[in-house]
Structure 1
Amino acid sequence: MALRVFRGLCLLKNVIQKGSTHLRTNGVHISVVNRDLMEFFDNKKNWAVEQVKVGRSWSKDELRIKSNEDLHKLWFILLKERNMLLTMEHECKSQFELFPNPERINKVEDSMKNVETVVRERNKAYYDLEVGENGERPGEMVTNLLGLNFFYRKFEHLIPKFLNKGWKDRHNFNVVNGNVEKFQRFYREKIHNEKRKKRNRDKNHVMHLMKRFPNMDMEAVKQQYPSVDIEKIKNYKKARGHYVP
């Protein structure tokens, strides 16, 4: 099957290169020039450079004013861009070279998430208007064997639930073993310790910043570290530094 598809693509490429009048009259268009496997690599002028000029990611407000056809095209453009960036990142790592502007991958992924969010909003609005319920995959809160609650998203199966033995063996919901109290106590203790350590790390980091930069914007620090009591740690010796407040 793969060999047939490859031969078909090669034949189509030869027809386009020869300039077939039939394809020209039908208005066949391609996104970019076909460069075979070079589609997975960046432009050669960006090779071995330290910085590549790029823009920001697409915002949700910008995507909401676009049509469904434009969002569909933009999704595949971002998908090709992400594949190219991941290929270049892997190649740079294998060649022990610096990958320029690695934040490009994050920008593309953020744009794809925003496109998916806008499409989900439109899909939900359509189903609410036409059917009376959203088009999201249904789900419910269930309990696993360890007594932990999580949200399980349902999906379709070829075999009914009462006949699907494999599904029943993998998904034993709302059936809790008898001796899980000790595990749950240790699990709650672990979560509590992780939160406590994170608060201490944030507090020490803020004190270090206040020591080095006494005139920094405290409102911005409060927004970034809401769990830290700025007024309380102002009188700490570690936060004062070598100056008199």
Structure 2
Amino acid sequence: MLNPMRRLFQGISTRKQFNLSFKPRGLEEFFENGQALPVKQIETGRAWTAAELRNKSWEDLNKLWYVLLKERNLLATQKEEAARNKIDYSYFSNTDRIVACKKSMARIKTVLEQRRQAYEKAVGIDKTNRRERYKKMYQRLKGIITEEDLDKTSSHSGVSDSLKSIRSDNAGSSKI
């Protein structure tokens, strides 16, 4: 009974099969439709707004960043190719696409900075305290100070100070 089952599954891989929708193509990715310069201008959309980007997850923003980076590289390649072939730049004008890419990338940076600031505000980290923490972490990594030294200093972590104040507030409210 066991032998027929073995024959049935013989040759079937037990490894998970990955189906990638994106297949890297090498240098072809820097050219649209396999051409160094497009024959006709492709109509494109607008830049992403910050409001749209705020609704995206970290993973989506990361993927979008690299898609936009690849698009900027493609457009820069086309611009250089036009200059190399002495083609009039007015004929080959992708400035709208370049501007849209740059705006979208700048807005992604803005959204991520806003998220960082909101997080730091939520846990009670201020800018000076953050600088002090980074300085202490750097010193610890370089071996200048030890973990024990960090525990002795009370201002090394704004998070721990804010958590202490939250704990003391909660202790008083639990008696009510």
TM interval, shorter chain, is 0.5 to 0.7
Match of 1:27 in 2: 18
1:131 and 1:22 map into 2 onto residues whose CA distance is 50
SS where residue 24 of structure 2 aligns?
coil
Does 1:106 pair with 2:99?
yes
Match of 1:123 in 2: 116
1:28 and 1:22 map into 2 onto residues whose CA distance is 15
TM-score of the superposition, structure 1-length normalised? 0.42
Match of 1:62 among 52, 55, 59: 52
Deviation at 1:45? 6.9
Contact map agreement 2:120 2:126 (CA 8 A) in 1: yes
Deviation at 1:28? 5.4
Deviation at 1:48? 4.1
Does 1:84 pair with 2:74?
yes
Structure with greater helix share of residues: 2
Can you give the 5+ residue segments of structure 2 that lack an aligned partner in the other structure? Answer: 1-12, 132-137, 143-176
1:69 and 1:122 map into 2 onto residues whose CA distance is 14
Specify whether residues 22 and 114 from structure 1 end up closer, same or farther in structure 2 by C-alpha distance, changes over 3 A only.
farther
SS where residue 94 of structure 2 aligns?
coil
Deviation at 1:26? 4.9
SS where residue 90 of structure 1 aligns?
helix
Can you give the 5+ residue segments of structure 1 that lack an aligned partner in the other structure? Answer: 1-20, 139-155, 160-245
Match of 1:74 in 2: 64
2:14 and 2:28 map into 1 onto residues whose CA distance is 28
TM-score of the superposition, structure 2-length normalised? 0.57
Contact map agreement 1:128 1:134 (CA 8 A) in 2: no
2:113 and 2:28 map into 1 onto residues whose CA distance is 33
Structure 1 runs of 4+ with >6 Å offset: 156-159
Deviation at 1:131? 3.8
Contact map agreement 2:65 2:108 (CA 8 A) in 1: yes
Q: Which has the higher contact order (CA 8 A, sep 6+)?
A: 2
Deviation at 1:99? 2.3
Corresponding pairs, count: 119
Match of 1:223 in 2: none
SS where residue 97 of structure 2 aligns?
helix
Structure with greater strand share of residues: 1
Deviation at 1:83? 1.0
Specify whether residues 79 and 121 from structure 1 end up closer, same or farther in structure 2 by C-alpha distance, changes over 3 A only.
same
